[in-house]
Chain A
């Protein structure tokens, strides 16, 4: 018996019990569907995280104040103010793998325009902030070096702040008051869009960092430095150079702990991607269990089917079916069930992942249906059929023809 003929016989046999065949396949359908949709949620989350980091710039590095020990007492990270604006200038000038630096200080304040006001985050940055953070200005211009030097009272609005204070009105050239100090709006940043999660990155405004230090907070230290490497591939090199330079500038003895910390975006992105990868694997393996349960369902039904059809097996043997013919017939029935179930399951899973986007709880996740997951789930389903179909099929093929014919 060749494969075509065997599958036709199997299909005919399954067709004789349509409801039962469908219910058996349903186990596989749900299993495969669950694997595909769960993995696509995980993959979507991973892609979302990766996109978000990529939009921040993969050549991005941060220097923040580290812990410093005094008399054996360690303070936590950021516990001491050790970074100065001069450090940023030195890094930009002396590290050749570094492209731009932008010192960063921040505060929160009420901003007022006309009869509207809005509480938002005020970011003090250098003139190169848009380049460093890969965040272009949509309207107007960013402030330049001379405005930074003179601690000019100018500001660039995030799109959310612009919308809150000005609505559709043109903001460029208008005056916004922050702590009673008038700031002239010279630009509006391009919207980064809802980042998902806890805060909206467009809900902020930037002013020269010198302005924050001298006019708003009066601090002498900066809270961090944003740095861009010349290219993503030279990020690690830049990190080493920055570390060496800062150790010299901060006069840290060999073997002593750094009083600063350099982290790069690639590291952070990788960490986040790993976390979502673990989530994907977790979701996938939980879904796989349902596929396994579906397989056991197939085995169960095939065993029932063999017992029900002992007479038929006897007849087939009497007219000349060999053991392998019977084995193949029942194995094919199991495989046809699982493969058909797998196919419908793939459609079901893909459809479900597309639909999940419209469910409120999942709307912040994008789902990404990965071909790998489809192939994996399908192959897994087919092998589940072979694995769980084999035992009943072998049982059928080993029946004694005489006893099978006499079976009532």
Chain B
């Protein structure tokens, strides 16, 4: 159990835009233990999205190494990365990213379409179960565009849960939601983290949302500049809800 779920060693990412090189990440080293709830904070352009993409196996670092559950995924090719995303990672996006004009159920079962040997009956069952765990079972056959923002994000969470991921990555999950719905969503995350021991990594720039995480790292210019844990630095934020 000593192996951390995420181990980043000196990650560097360089983008080439025309002639100029942009160094989005300048050597990030960090470890995330299993069952952790981590928030990544930083201004836009700080490199946090790039970091998320690499952690989410959507992108590969220019140099440095990334181990996910001990596997060195930084050298995997596109198809192997797709496999990892399918099996181990659940995504929740700011813009929900659900298929339009498609029922909630079909959206939720999407990851299973790409993992082999599951019967359609079993697939529907699992999808319904996931929807139930976010309290949306009665909305299963509604089209996504008939759902409210909060409901859409809960569908996205159900989708992320479907393959029993070890890691859920949330990119500004409350960015498009009002305060009340944001709290609902963040509470679902906390519950999943505590009850199912799913590791959560969340990018946000709302400090009161970040305070729900047990650990927070701050990124600026592609480097980690500060790390906080538990209630550190959260005293004055309006956290009336119970914090983990």
Chain A positions within 8 Å of B, measured between CB atoms, are: 1, 5, 9, 12, 16, 311-312, 314-325, 401-402, 405
Contact = CB atoms under 8 A, between A and B. Distances in A.
B53 interface: yes
A1 B59 CA distance: 23
A319 B162 CA distance: 10
Given A1-B113, A5-B113, A312-B99, A318 B85 contact: yes
B53 A317 contact: no
B83 A320 contact: yes
> Chain B, interface size: which category?
20 to 34
Interface string B88-118: 0001010001111110001000110111000
Contacts of A402: 53, 58-59
B114 A322 contact: yes
A325 B163 CA distance: 18
A318 B91 contact: yes
Contacts of B79: 322-324
Give the one of A5, A315, A323, A324 with max B CB within 10 A.
A315
Interface string B37-81: 000000000000000010010110000000000000000001100
B114 A1 contact: yes
B82 A320 contact: yes
B83 A319 contact: no
B97 A318 contact: yes
25 contacts: A1-B113, A5-B113, A5-B120, A12-B102, A16-B102, A311-B97, A315-B97, A315-B98, A316-B114, A317-B58, A318-B85, A318-B97, A319-B85, A319-B91, A320-B83, A320-B111, A320-B114, A321-B82, A321-B113, A322-B82, A322-B83, A323-B78, A402-B53, A402-B58, A405-B97
A320 B87 contact: yes
Interface of A is mostly: helix
A315 B82 contact: no
B172 to A, nearest CB: 13
3 closest Cβ pairs, A-B complex: A320-B86, A319-B111, A320-B114
Interface of B: 53, 56, 58-59, 78-79, 82-83, 85-87, 91, 93, 97-102, 106, 110-111, 113-115, 120, 159, 163
Contact of A321 (B97, B101, B114): B114
Given A319-B110, A405-B58, 18 more contacts: A1-B113, A312-B100, A315-B99, A315-B110, A316-B110, A317-B58, A318-B97, A319-B85, A319-B86, A319-B111, A320-B83, A320-B86, A320-B87, A321-B113, A322-B79, A325-B114, A402-B53, A405-B93
Contacts of B111: 319-320
A401 B97 CA distance: 12
B56 to A, nearest CB: 8
Contacts of B97: 311, 314-315, 318, 405
A80 B49 CA distance: 101
Nearest to B100: A312
Nearest to B117: A2
A401 B113 CA distance: 18
A19 to B, nearest CB: 14
Give the one of A9, A321, A324, A325 with max B CB within 10 A.
A321
A9 B113 CA distance: 9
Nearest to A4: B120
Contacts of B59: 402
Contacts of B115: 320
Contacts of A401: 58
